[in-house]
Amino acid sequence: MEDSTSRASSTVTKADKTSFREFVLMFQDDVNLRYGTGTNGTAVPKLPQAEDPEDSGQKAFNYRTEPLWARMGFAPDAPLETTRSLDFTHALSNTLTGADPVTPVFTTKVGMPVRFRVLEPAGHARNHVFQVHGHNWDQLPYTNGSTVLGPRAVSERKGSQFGHGPGGHFDMLLSSAGGVFQAPGDYLFRDQSSFQFDGGLWGILRVQP
């Protein structure tokens, strides 16, 4: 059943009456963010680390972005000599803005199986490294001749997925929300690259009691 608040998250009930949470996460790495409205707006400049043409444009998940420069209140192209002196301790905390980030906040109950469907329809050739803090998963979660999604005993376990780029997709099955210790709380998911993360490629997996 699709969530009433998001078309990117749902609860799926299988024939054996067991359920899991499913989330769809779309990478966007060439977004045309602008100050102002309409065609008269000024393009948001590149972050200082993004010097290659493959790093042009702004970043988002599911048409939503929450750059750290916007949360912290400095210019997107502020030099590193300036930003490295700032205190980022609470950069991801709701106390900074008074609300959840506008990037996806996926919710589930502790201990519930979770499936992420991660994709990037188009974008730069620069690949991404996707990770969900506090969790790991099978690299190849396929059984029955790769026709069924499910745990696979011979698969490597991973805590991050590299090589994700335009035209790519992968299935990520978390056997238990909250990790092996089934601990409730907010878990960060993000692109590992610093300037992609700074540019807004992050969100929250909220594991509720």
Which pLDDT does position 46 carry in this prediction? Answer: 85
Cβ atoms 64, 157 nearer than 8 A: no
Would you tell me how many other CB atoms lie within 10 Å of the CB of residue 65? 20
Per-residue pLDDT averaged across 9-24, rounded? Answer: 96
Which pLDDT does position 184 carry in this prediction? Answer: 98
Of the listed ranges 96-100, 134-138, 154-158, the least confidently predicted one is: 154-158
Per-residue pLDDT averaged across 92-108, rounded? Answer: 95
Q: What is the 3-state secondary structure (H, E, C) of 84-108?
A: CCCCCCCCCCHHHHCCCCCCCEEEE
State whether CATH 3.40.50.150 applies to domain 9-208: no
Single-letter residue type at 163: G
Evaluate if pTM is beyond 0.85.
yes
Give tens-digit pLDDT for 163-189.
Answer: 999 999 999 999 999 999 999 999 999
